[in-house]
Amino acid sequence: MQFGSRTLDVTTPQVMGILNITPDSFSDGGELFSAGQLQLQAVIDRASAMVNAGATMLDIGGESTRPGAVPVSSQQELDRVLPVLSALASRFDVVLSVDTSSALLITEAASVGAGLINDVRALTGPGALAAAAATGLPVCLMHMQGSPATMQQQPGYRDVVQEVIRFLQARVDVCIRGGVTGLLVDPGFGFGKTLQHNLVLLARLQELQVLELPILVGMSRKRMLGDIAGKPEKAREAAGIAAAVLAMQNGARIVRTHDVAGMVDAARVCQAVNSAAQRNWPPDGWKEST
């Protein structure tokens, strides 16, 4: 799949490192700031560590979308994201994703090295669809019930998997009609979903393959893992890897994570097992029963 100037094989698992350049993200907010100011060298160092650990994609976010998060202005997002995007584009040969719903940032990011627009609001914001189409970049459409400010206030579904699929299919159709040609989908773990919703969605993730688009998942350090493992945010790496392996075995092709090194190993194991199964099936002498 083409991501701006770079091509990536999304038929095999890829690891996307998370770069939250925000003061208030749920598990790493403020880590790249000092005295209230974003430290560009700290961002570059973290990106370098992720790339060296095997990340093929980096996702840059200038607005927290944690439960209850307060929206930031487009100008604040621009001021946070564009210098980082420019610095990373000149240093690293990886796909740079911009986590945004802002039409203005979508437009500006395309001119300084972005290869993917990753929108938790699925291009429903003002002008976002037209801006994304004009860039020619692929877009990841995510499902969310409600908004970051309200999404965890009693979310409800009759069938969470089918409702996620219907929402994503509707947005895919709108985006194609609007001129967006490269699409990925994200079921939105933790976005307007209870623990039970998340678990059902993970168990039945393969059903999203009906959309015939690459599936991106992001469960890294999320509350669903803490509820299961009983661990604080930064102690959830093992739980995140376990969940990601299940997702990759059920069709996920991009895993978004804070903890790149372990996730790269997990992705390589999944790919090795899948490749071995494809090469050796059917085994010699095997005949289909009638």
Inter-residue contact 69 to 149 (CB < 8 Å) = yes
Indicate the angle between helix axes 160-177 and 128-135, nearest 10 degrees.
60
Closest by alpha carbon to 143, among 235, 225, 208? 208
The b-or-e profile of 65-82 (16+ CB within 10 A means b, else e) is bbbebeebebeebbebbb
Q: Which residues pair with 37 in a beta bridge?
A: 34
Tell me the Cα Rg of the chain.
Answer: 19
Quick check: helix, strand or coil at residue 76?
helix
Place of tokens 């997002």: 77
Alpha-carbon gap, residue 212 to 11, rounded angstroms: 12
Distance CA 247, CA 241 (A): 10
Residues 115, 117: Cα–Cα separation, whole Å: 7
Whether residue 256 lies in the annotated active site: yes
Report the 10 Å Cβ neighbour count for 154.
8
Q: Is 222 a catalytic residue?
A: yes
Q: 179: part of which helix (H) or strand (E)?
A: none
Query: From the candidates 80, 193, 222, 253, which is the catalytic residue?
Result: 222
Selection from 133, 82, 139, 138 nearest residue 111 by Cα: 82
- Cα–Cα distance for residue pair 21/7, rounded to 1 Å: 25
* φ, ψ dihedrals at 101, nearest 5°: -115, 5
Q: Which of 46, 171, 221, 256 is catalytic?
A: 256
Query: Catalytic amino acids?
Result: 222, 256
